[in-house]
Amino acid sequence: MLRVVGCIFEYEGKFVLLHRRAHKPNGNTWGLPAGKVEPDESDEAAMLRELREETGYEARLSELRYVREDEYQFDGDPFVFVVYKLALDGPYDVKIEAAAHQAYQWITWSEAMKMPDLVPGLHTVLELVSGN
């Protein structure tokens, strides 16, 4: 089964959401730094790679904290979504992957829950991990 990793990349009560370009799957929606786990790649290695590609942040494995994983299905095959958290010690200027994303924002949990244009399923993910 396909595995996808995502990270709640946070600093001082806010986390990063990335705005997907229109031509990408789930285009014009906001989502976490996330992506597919490649064959022969661990979940952790995939998350480190995706953070680097999508935010420019060179994370260390010791910074990642596993939160949970759940199975989902949205208009296609089922997949497992594995959630990590990474709490920054200081501010970070995100460097988005311009081919995939058009913008980013640091947002609070309550602000994110009010957004109508999140990637499908992200409201559920945020509800599940809000206490972690």
Condensed to tens digits (0 to 9), the pLDDT of residues 86-111 reads 999 999 999 999 999 999 999 999 99
Q: Which pTM does this prediction carry?
A: 0.94
Domain assignment of residue 110, given as a range: 2-129
- We report the CATH number of the domain holding residue 56 as 3.90.79.10
Condensed to tens digits (0 to 9), the pLDDT of residues 22-52 reads 998 888 999 999 999 999 999 999 999 999 9
DSSP one-letter string for 7-75: EEEEETTEEEEEEE-TTSTTTT-EE-SEEEPPTT--HHHHHHHHHHHHH-----GGG-EEEEEEEE-SS
How many independent structural domains does the chain possess? 1
- Residue 26: per-residue pLDDT: 87
